[in-house]
Structure 1
Amino acid sequence: MHVIKRSGRKENLDISKIRVVIDFACKGLNVDPLELEADAHIQFREGITTKEIQQLLIRTAAEKISPQTPDWQYVAARLLLYDLYKDVGHLRGYKVKDKLNGRYKPYNPDSFYDLIKTYTEKGIYGEYLLENYTKDEIDELARYINPDRDLLFNYVGIKILCDRYLVRDEEGKIIELPQEMYMLIAMSLAVPEKKEDRIRWAKIFYDVLSKHEVSLATPTLMNARRPFTQLSSCFVLTVDDDLYDIFDNVQKAGMISKFAGGLGIYLGKIRATGAPIRKFKGASSGVLPVVKILNDVMVYVDQLGMRKGSASITLDIWHKDILDFLEVKTNVGDERKKAHDIHPAVSIPDLFMKRLRERLEGKEVYWTLLDPYYCKNVKDGKNLEDFYGEEFEELYQHLEKTLPDYAKRQVDPFELFKRLLSVIFETGEPYVFFRDTANKLNPNKHAGMVYSSNLCMEIVQNMSTTTHLEDKLLEDGTIIHKKKSGDVVVCNLGSINLGKVHTKEDLERVMPILVRMLDNVISINFYAIKEAEYTNKRYRAIGIGVSNYHYLLVKEGISWESEEHLKFANSLFERIAYYAIKSSMELAKERGKYPLFDGSDWSKGIFFGRTPEENQTMSTNGLDWIGLAEDVKKYGIRNAYLLALMPTGSTSLIIGATPSVDPIFAKFYKEENMSGILPQVPPEVDKYFWHYKSAYHIDQRWSIRAAAERQKWIDQAQSLNLFIDPENIDGPTLLSYYMMAWELGLKTVYYVRSRSLTDIEECESCSA
């Protein structure tokens, strides 16, 4: 039998060469290499290419992955890596030897500088790499790269990395290897460091990334080292009730989506259907047309054809258009009112939940839908939506009594929430945002307020509208539009791999590095809109999340549905919070506190809405909260917001971790995404098979209670998914979940994932 080599040369099939590759792939793993050779050999044919043989071996190994034999995922990964080494070596003109002996080097450190130089000249890498690093420094970093860390990848991880993250040339060929990717990202994020420290920090950043101790958000992994360093995940816009501002935000949404940012958009200020326009009654067509425009923008600005733009749009549950808004993604009703490509979210005040609870207790209560047009300038020049808590409740109750009938509509709160739940059963959405809890615990309430969350419901930061001041025409035909920037929230995200980092010692070591990396993201970021740059530099907000939470629980022998889980969650996230705040404080000593620090809760020693003494009393780790509060008062902190548990879908897959704080979907399943059909098993499933319990078999009340324990130590929110089996759940049970989430102090609820909903999109924008 003859084979065709990559060079095009024909030669006899040499089984010994295939065995060398198979032995390399199977070395040290609990698999039988002869089994792989036999099963793959059956499919060989005359004239097969060596590339096809490699693909056959990869596919055969991948098909063998199961909970009983999970090591095949590492065999498939190594085979895919070997293929990648050959392709990249061939493209870059260096030899990768077939014989994998002691001298075999898949990486060629001598080619690293040429890689950067060649592809910077072609506009594929950013010029800042060569501007900030000399050839000698790049050569030093190239020698620091550790190829053995490639063996940490499983098959799904390296497949996704190859398909979507490793940089390609103009012809679509991969030009860099995984460890080179990590080093180039580390070099990019070390650019803001002092010249004399830059190499040291690049090595430190490389180590935590390549050891899979931390992961960065998808835009950071994709765009660090590229010419446009748009490294932020998500942006949150606040739209005013003004035609110019509506379309200004449409343009902002398009620009953000162009550079792969996800969007959260608050539309609660826009007047309802039938409201006057310039005193002409009944002229307004309400919120739905704006929703449809934004929907079409997300479809049109499709992020270089990689995927659709993505936005969540939030409306208040007291808005007069809320009933139509709830229907935007359902499959019944007027198609002209549909927007199937956005993600609806509903902002709910405590007052609604109180009335809903009273209604469930049998009391006769109602809920009033109001038109924002008639809720303007209700107090101190502010609108109703600009208040929260007791102030909101007083103003709302006054308005529902005094507004004329055409400005309001009374509904049964139970019927309204029942409709919301029906839509959730059908679509998994809308998301829910508990606005009073979010604002009461906002550490920067002195500088603004929060109207909604972001695309993935974990970001809770100050928002405000932009003020349009004037248009000026100069004599030469130049037109200047002058506006005062509002706060456009920017999410700068990273996550800790709890499977590797969760003890006091590890968090104390790793957290300062991650905080520093994310602070550097803010410094080198490319901003698609100026408002984002303005806000990002005033707040320097970051979001630290986690992955591998379920794996950590099973590794510690802790059942998901147990009181032990709740205690563990509380203790773990206390440690995470303490070292995040301490790291940001230490960074403030070096670089200065964020500009809006004075007057914040942080500046008063109040963390998570509690005094230092209260935190000290709550502590289960023996951490010095009182001392930390004094240090923060004295030195400040670098970042206005710190902790947010985002989804970590694709980045968890890369590092072989369970996603975010979610339980596993199943002990074995195949997921179909842009990389094809990928077999998945959780970490060490063979060892902990009976400890893992899948999401759809878990009583969701335990997940909500665990989220409440975590929330005590999180200044922002969590992308909390609920998992339901439609055949084993009813409306009252689902309603009880939301009541429990609100009563226990959660700020948001993300998707309700159902076994019957196969088309729920994973949020890649926030994946960290």
Structure 2
Amino acid sequence: MNNEQKSERGDHMQSMRNTGLYSVTKRNGKLMPLDHAKLRLTLERVSKGYTALSVDAIIKELEKNIFDGITTQDLEKTLLLSTVVFIERDPGYDAVAARLLLQKLLKEVCGKSVEDVDLSHVYQDAFIKGITLGVQRSLFDARMLDFDLELLAQNLVTERDELFGYMGLQTLYERYFAKYNGLRFELPQTFWMRIAMGLALQEQDKNGKALEFYAILSTMRYTPSTPTLFHAGFPVAQLSSCFLTTVNDDLGHIFKCIGDNAQLAKWAGGLGGDWTNVRATGSYIKSIKATSQGVIPFLKIANDVVVAITRSGIRRGGTCVYLETWHLDIEEFLDLRRNTGDERRRTHDMNTAHWIPDLFMKRVLEDKEWTLFSPEEVPDLHDLYGKKFEDAYCAYEEKARLGKLNQHKSVPAKQLWRKMLTRLFETGHPWITFKDPCNVRSPQDHVGVVHSSNLCTEITLNTSQEETAVCNLGSLNIGRHIAHGQLDNPLLEATIKSAIRMLDNVIDLTFYSTTEARNSNLKHRPIGLGLMGFQDALFKLDIPFIASEALEFADKLMETISYNAIQASALLAQERGAYASFKGSKWDRGIFPLDTVDMLQSERGSAIEVSRAATLDWDSLKAFVQKQGMRNSNVMAIAPTATISTITGCYPCIEPIYENIYVKSNVSGEFTIVNKYLVEDLKKHNLWNKNMLDQLKYHDGDLALISQIPQEIKRKYQTCFEIDPVWLIKLTAARAKWIDQSQSHNVFIKGVSGSKLHEVYVAAWKMGLKTTYYLRTLGATQIEKSTLDAKEFGFTQMRQYTSVSKACGLDAPPDCESCQ
């Protein structure tokens, strides 16, 4: 632009300001008057069906934030943000914001503005061109062109875009939709179809299965984990979620595993590592006639390697390391996440977890001594569990007493337990997981040992020097299976059948960056079908989380999922053949997950406080499995689902809602969201208005402090910190009896109480839980209150709360997006 043009433009902009009008800078650089009529028509179009919303309010907010000469792109962004700020007033604004974002995406993909009447044709054209472009530019697998693109395009259901909320679509827009030269060329439904095609590449009836998968994905009844969403249909498609390794007490193997983990993390995998084999500090090394520095320095190296890796170019790597409670370095292991001490012996970026044998918990409860050993002197303890572990451990204690072991230390078990819980509270780590339930209840006890869980504590698979365990995850959206006030069992059964098939396909389609991962996955074929939206389902069923009906629903729901998931895997075995190591497995021996609860009770020698009641015909299913086999060694695991639940607009996995009003952040800024189910119920009671919103903000969503709200609504919408954590353990235990792997169970604690922590984690052990995940503590965060009336609520609008550890606050980003 020359000086004359700049002067002309400046005069024009000054003229617009003087007249109270605004001009818009078009993409070609020309200035045009802001078309207020078109703006209003656009807002009226995207607000269609939401009569309670105010177009005038959005326009007024927009006018406060624009300036003369604003670019078209900035005008679009400002209009979107001017809508988002009203989401707190009514969930309908969320839908309007999603429609505006979709309009922006359509313009980016198609290169022009698109009206509703053109949507079907535009979608079909964009899909065919997008798949073709992706293959031509080597972004997509060439086999994607083997599908009947015309047929698939004609079956795209554009109306399903309406299922997205703003945050879900924004998440896909920012991180998941395929791009070329910085521009996106995927729309929501073409994205789902591409995932479906990527999972049907090796199906005989490619088109039929792609359409079947698309129907499940696009209705959000089931969603694969992030690696599958990232890479399905790509030439190098790493679709698996998490990887588990065992590190041997050998320098070469230690660094091989560190290198392998770097490769696995590079391709979006979450990592779990068993380091119990590595000898303790002060142990003798024969080859160099010196003493070892123990496991801690190697964990520091592993920590720094993980930090250096960016998973799929999007997010830094993530890992969790496990150590058994008898390891002589366990006390230093407890301090890895502390902010004080020698930084060379700290790992601030990796997660840590205890791998606790039952004997330790017995010693805690009996207030007895606990002995720590160096693993090279007690080599068989690592692979033992149950009664055999107890016998061997006690024999080693006797050897130590007689002076036949070089390295050992005796500590009061209760003292060590207290320190474990203290560090967990202070730093959020190490997490509490239990070795014996994971192994006694494992279907694969005939071919190995479970030495650790994964990054999110829901995977329990065997590992060894020869095998890196791999798991492939996806989650059912339970809220999408509630119809007419009840669980739609036929719909759920159909979803599970397709979901198991998709997960099994992942095993043959995924890219393996290590030989050990490939060998393990193809031999055992484990998958992990989980769930999310449990809280949504309870809201729709009008069941409070604290009600006995919630426990009953959790139990029966998981029984239904388990039955149909096992049946689906057996049907796949009938079609495709059983997994290679099926013979001799618990499945082959007629032992199903429910049966293993009694096995654990027998090994432990104390009662597992869980009901054994069943309602389905398990005997006939056992007979079918023994005849046909299983396609997959493991079929169920409940992952955290933070990201995919955001995409699909439901609450994560098995958790209760954590706040009824909260601030959500993304790349565009922050905005306040109110629980849409709560708003709906308050509307039914004629209680939803600005004053109620202000009270929710003032009281940080605590309904107990708002007198106008009926007691039944307060009870229904209790948050995770208002619910007894032991009750949540009971719900998880009710599910656990049906699951062949584990669940990512967060523990929520309100207040500072060591005795309550002890009660919760002992309850988890007594009820037979395999693992727990984060300890979440209530911090003193508050909702933004700058919009409240100072005359009514005061000028500072601050209340005093007891400050609680922020070690693992709810606003902390999830480390394991692979499972999400």
Cα deviation for residue 508 of structure 1 reads: 1.5
Aligned twin of 1:491: 471
1:389 maps onto 2:386 in alignment? yes
- Tell me which residue corresponds to 2:13: none
Alignment match, 2:157:
146
Q: Which position in structure 2 is the counterpart of 1:734?
A: 757
Aligned to 1:410: 410
State which of 642, 646, 659 in structure 2 corresponds to 1:666: 659
Q: Per-residue CA shift, 1:251-293, capped at 9, x if unaligned?
A: 1011011111110000001110111111666511110011011
Quote the offset at 1:24 in angstroms: 2.3
TM-score (norm 2): 0.85
Q: 2:377 corresponds to which residue?
A: 374
1:158 to 164, 169, 172: 169
Counterpart for residue 37 of structure 2: 16
What amino acid sits opposite 2:40 in the alignment? R
Name the counterpart of 1:592. Answer: 577
What are the equivalent positions in structure 2 for 1:134-533 lying under 5 Å apart? 137-169=148-180, 171-194=181-204, 197-278=205-286, 283-303=291-311, 305-359=313-367, 365-376=368-379, 383-403=380-400, 404=403, 406-465=406-465, 486-501=466-481, 502-533=487-518
- How far off its partner does 1:106 sit? 7.9
Q: Distance in 2 between matches of 1:352 and 1:634?
A: 40
1:7 Cα offset (Å): 4.5
Whether 1:65 aligns to 2:76 is: no
Deviation for aligned residue 1:42: 3.3
Give the letter aligned to residue 53 of structure 1. L
Helix, strand or coil for the counterpart of 1:284?
strand
2:164 alignment partner AA? F
Between the aligned partners of 1:730 and 1:113, the Cα distance in structure 2 is 59
Post-superposition shift, 1:565? 1.6
Measured after TM superposition, the shift of residue 676 of structure 1 is: 4.7
In the alignment, does 2:4 pair up with 1:4? no
**1:459, CA displacement in angstroms?**
0.3
Which stretch of the first structure deviates more once superposed, 710-719 or 30-39?
30-39
Displacement after TM superposition at 1:128 (Å): 2.7
Residue matched to 2:625? 632
Give, in whole Å, the separation in 2 of the partners of 1:589 and 1:355.
47
RMSD over aligned CA atoms reads 2.0
Deviation at 1:26, TM superposition (A): 1.1
Preserved CA contact (<8 Å) 1:490 1:535:
yes
Aligned-pair CA distance for 1:96: 3.3
Amino acid at match of 2:71: T
Task: Work out which of the residue numbers 682, 685, 693 in structure 1 matches 2:718.
Answer: 693
For the 8 Å contact 2:244–2:463, the answer to whether it is kept is: yes
Change beyond 3 A, Cα 1:675–1:298: farther
400-409 vs 144-153, which deviates more?
A: 400-409
Match of 2:740 among 695, 715, 719: 715
**Take 1:678 and 1:261, find their aligned partners in 2: how far apart are those partners?**
31
Q: Which residue of 1 aligns with 2:813?
A: 761
> In structure 2, do the counterparts of structure 1 residues 202 and 36 end up closer, same or farther at CA, with 3 Å as the change threshold?
same
In structure 2, the residue matched to 1:118 is 133
For these two proteins, the number of residue pairs brought into alignment is 718
Further displaced range: 280-289 or 254-263: 280-289
**Residues 34-82 of structure 1, C-alpha deviation per residue, up to 9 Å, x if partnerless?**
222222233333222232222112111111112x512211111111111
Which stretch shows the higher mean deviation, 434-443 or 405-414?
A: 405-414
Deviation at 1:542, TM superposition (A): 0.4
Q: SS state of the match for residue 311, structure 2?
A: coil
Q: TM-score, normalised by structure 1?
A: 0.90
| CA distance in 2: counterparts of 1:678 and 1:496, whole angstroms | 28
The 2-side partners of 1:637 and 1:651 are apart by: 28
Q: Secondary structure at the match of 2:186?
A: coil
Alignment-derived partner of residue 575 in structure 1: 560
Q: Distance in 2 between matches of 1:303 and 1:613?
A: 41
8 Å contact from structure 1 (residues 231, 525) kept in 2: yes
Alpha-carbon distance between aligned partners in 1 of 2:377 and 2:170, rounded to the nearest angstrom = 55
- Partner SS for 2:320: strand
Q: Which residue of 1 aligns with 2:704?
A: none
The equivalent residue for 1:362 is none
Query: How many angstroms apart in 2 are the aligned matches of 1:673 and 1:72?
Result: 17
What's the offset of the Cα at 1:644?
Answer: 0.4
Q: Where does structure 1 lack aligned partners over 5 or more consecutive residues?
A: 360-364, 377-382, 466-485
What is the rounded CA distance, in whole Å, between the counterparts of 2:179 and 2:354 in structure 1?
40
The one of 638, 654, 662 equivalent to 1:645 is 638
Structure 1 Cα separation of the partners of residues 593 and 166 of structure 2:
40
CA shift for structure 1 position 414: 1.3
Is the Cα contact below 8 Å between 2:126 and 2:185 reproduced in 1?
no
Q: Is 1:41 the equivalent of 2:52?
A: no
Q: Are the equivalent residues in 1 in contact too, given 2:440–2:596 (CA < 8 A)?
A: no
Over residues 694-716 of structure 1, what are the superposed CA-to-partner deviations in whole Å (9 max), with x where a residue is unaligned?
11222111111111101011110
Deviation at 1:677, TM superposition (A): 3.2
Q: 1:77 to 1:493 in 2, by over 3 A?
A: same
Identity of aligned residues (%): 38
* C-alpha distance in structure 2 between counterparts of 1:598 and 1:442, whole Å: 14
- In structure 1, what is the Cα distance between the partners aligned to 2:74 and 2:64? 13
Could you tell me how far 1:296 is from its partner in structure 2? Answer: 0.7
In structure 1, distance between residues paired with 2:81 and 2:117 = 27
Match of 1:703 among 694, 716, 728: 728
- Mapping of 1:533-572 within 5 angstroms? 533-572=518-557
Q: Which stretch has the larger CA shift, 333-342 or 273-282? A: 273-282
Cα contact 1:717–1:748 (8 A) shared by 2: yes
Q: Which runs of 5+ in 2 are unaligned?
A: 1-21, 482-486, 600-610, 683-712, 780-805
Q: Is the 8 A contact 1:106 1:147 kept in 2?
A: no
Structure 1 window deviating more from structure 2 (40-49 vs 700-709): it is 40-49
For the residue of structure 2 that corresponds to 1:545, the secondary structure is: strand
Change in Cα spacing, 1:742 to 1:688, as seen in structure 2 (3 Å) is farther
| Cα contact 2:441–2:593 (8 A) shared by 1 | yes
Q: CA deviation at 1:410?
A: 0.5
| Structure 1 residues 101 and 190: CA distance shift in structure 2, 3 A | closer
Does residue 86 of structure 1 match 2:107? yes
Q: 2:241 is matched by which residue type in structure 1?
A: S
**Letter of the structure 1 residue corresponding to residue 813 of structure 2:** E
Aligned 8 A contact 1:238 1:266 in 2: yes
Q: Residues 231-251 of structure 1, C-alpha deviation per residue, up to 9 Å, x if partnerless?
A: 011100111111111111011
| Separation (CA, whole Å) in 2 of partners of 1:334 and 1:739 | 32
Do 1:605 and 1:611's aligned partners in 2 also have CA atoms closer than 8 Å? no
Q: Would the alpha carbon gap of residues 678 and 580 (structure 1) be closer, same or farther in structure 2, given more than 3 Å must change?
A: farther
Residues 494, 736 of structure 1: CA spacing in aligned structure 2 closer, same or farther, 3 A cutoff? same
2:589 corresponds in structure 1 to: 604
SS of the residue corresponding to residue 264 of structure 1 reads strand
Question: Following TM superposition, by how much is the alpha carbon of 1:214 offset from its aligned partner in structure 2, in angstroms?
Answer: 0.6
Specify the code of the residue in structure 2 equivalent to 1:647. Answer: P
SS at match of 1:499: helix
